[in-house]
Amino acid sequence: MTKSIVPQDALHDNASTLLGDPTDALRDLLAGTLNAVMHQEVAAQLNAGAYERHDDRQGYRNGTRTRRFDTRMGTLELEVPRVRGGSYMPSFLTHRERAEAALVSLVQEAYVNGVSTRKMQKLFEALGVASLSKSQVSELNKQLDDLVTAFRERPLTALYPYFMVDAVYEKIRFEGRSQSHAVVIAYGITDQGLRELIGVEIVDTESYDSWSGFFRKLLARGLRGVQLVISDAHAGLKKAIAEVLLGAGWQRCKVHFLRNILAAVPKMQKDVVASDLKALFAPNTTRDAAMNVVDGLIKKYGDRHSRAMQILLDGIDDALTYLDFPSEHAAKISSTNPIERINREIRRRTRAIGVFPSINSAMRIIGMVLIEMTEDWESQRGYMSLESMQQIELRT
């Protein structure tokens, strides 16, 4: 019969440490308990306790080896018993994958929340985990790549009557230099009234070629049913929309439009003109009402701010396209504000990183932010009512 050989004095010592620092006390108590478990397991394997002699003994101990074990309490230094002429592996270490998975999860969450690898290393040191280096943290983060790739390449099976695009710029190290790159993002609202982030690419800069290539990739994945594209008035983007997304209407973002007008107004007059411009996009306005406001603005400011008023005349038709769609949708399709909020969240997460070491690392964190937001939306009710979506004459 194998005797229980839990070192009672060790457990007593561990219990007494509870009078000191509670974190250290719990870590020491856990280490002492695991060491006791290993002694019991070895005794069962050898059918004999330490220094016990009998005919049924199956082998002998041969000292110990130090083994680090990462837990949520920190890194423990365990003394794993050796077995002469054989091997012994603690049962809880065979399930090490679970502890590693927990650490990976923490690393990934920290990374997605914009914590740099250097800061993560300090975080782990503060937790008492000493076995994760900066390179190991980066390696663990690469496990996110498969998730991001699957998200970016998934088939698009819904109809997307509303399609919004914009870009946010991030600094990425390329060929030894820090360069600004455009992160182009596509956001859609399905025929069921649900919102979805449907595409993201990192390109050198916004241009006709980069936008048209992005749109063609989306079409290849199944993008269809687009009735209205909402964006700013970037020349290359407008051309790509017209040539690739055939038949779709274009809504010029009203916020960008107003900024363009005010950029041509002297600083001292901006507030007054901005106040008058608000009437263009009053709630429940009509196209006729908006054009009456335009006539009034031209009479009032045509001579003093001729350049600004010319921008108004040239762009007003495109800025009012949203009025051709259900009035319930007006606030959500008249500007790129929904995607601007996404851009702000990306910037908040990436601010701590500063300059990304590579395009892959930038795509990793930005992709995970978009996945996270999409999953949040899936748990919410419809963004637009199904009844209002049915007012749109959908086309496939």
Tell me the pLDDT tens digit for each residue of 279-311.
999 999 999 999 999 999 999 999 999 999 999
Q: What is the pLDDT of residues 195-222, one digit of tens each?
A: 999 999 999 999 999 999 999 999 999 9
Is residue 351's pLDDT more than 50?
Answer: yes
Please report the beta strands in 13-73, taking only residues with DSSP state E, as ranges in sequence order.
61-71
Which of 95-99, 112-116, 164-168 shows the lowest mean pLDDT across its residues? Answer: 95-99
Query: How far does Cα 391 stand from its chain's mean position?
Result: 33
Token reading at 211: 């936008």
C-alpha span between 67 and 123 (Å, rounded): 22
| Pair 121, 88: CB distance under 8 Å | no
| Pair 78, 38: CB distance under 8 Å | yes
pLDDT at 176: 79
- Average pLDDT (175-190) is 92
pLDDT at 376: 82
Instruction: List Cβ neighbours of 106 (8 Å cut-off, separation of 6 or more).
Output: none
Is residue 76's pLDDT more than 90?
Answer: no
C-alpha span between 150 and 272 (Å, rounded): 50
Is residue 83's pLDDT more than 90?
Answer: no
Query: How far does Cα 269 stand from its chain's mean position?
Result: 41
Q: What is the pLDDT of residues 160-182, one digit of tens each?
A: 999 999 999 999 988 878 899 99
Is residue 89's pLDDT more than 90?
Answer: no
pLDDT band at 48 (very low <50, low <70, confident <90, very high): confident
Is residue 71's pLDDT more than 90?
Answer: no
- Average pLDDT (67-73) is 71
Q: What is the pLDDT of residues 243-274, one digit of tens each?
A: 999 999 999 999 999 999 999 999 999 999 99
Query: Which DSSP letter does residue 10 get?
Result: H
Which of 7-11, 74-78, 227-231, 342-346 shows the lowest mean pLDDT across its residues? Answer: 7-11
Is residue 106's pLDDT more than 70?
Answer: no
pLDDT band at 101 (very low <50, low <70, confident <90, very high): low
pLDDT at 72: 60
Mean pLDDT for all residues in the chain? 83
C-alpha span between 128 and 209 (Å, rounded): 50
Query: Which DSSP letter does residue 77 get?
Result: E
pLDDT at 17: 39
pLDDT at 2: 44
pLDDT at 7: 47
Pairing of strands 162-174, 355-356: parallel
Which of 13-22, 48-57, 247-256, 306-315 shows the lowest mean pLDDT across its residues? Answer: 13-22
Classify 136 as helix, strand or coil.
helix
Query: How far does Cα 141 stand from its chain's mean position?
Result: 13
Query: Which DSSP letter does residue 3 get?
Result: P
Which of 39-43, 191-195, 265-269 shows the lowest mean pLDDT across its residues? Answer: 39-43
pLDDT at 235: 94
Across-strand partners of 178?
A: 173
pLDDT at 5: 42
Question: The dihedral of CA 45, 51, 56, 59: what is its sign?
Answer: positive
Q: What is the pLDDT of residues 228-248, one digit of tens each?
A: 999 999 999 999 999 999 999
Q: What is the pLDDT of residues 372-387, one digit of tens each?
A: 888 888 777 789 999 9
Whether the predicted model's global pTM rises above the 0.85 cut: no
C-alpha span between 253 and 337 (Å, rounded): 8
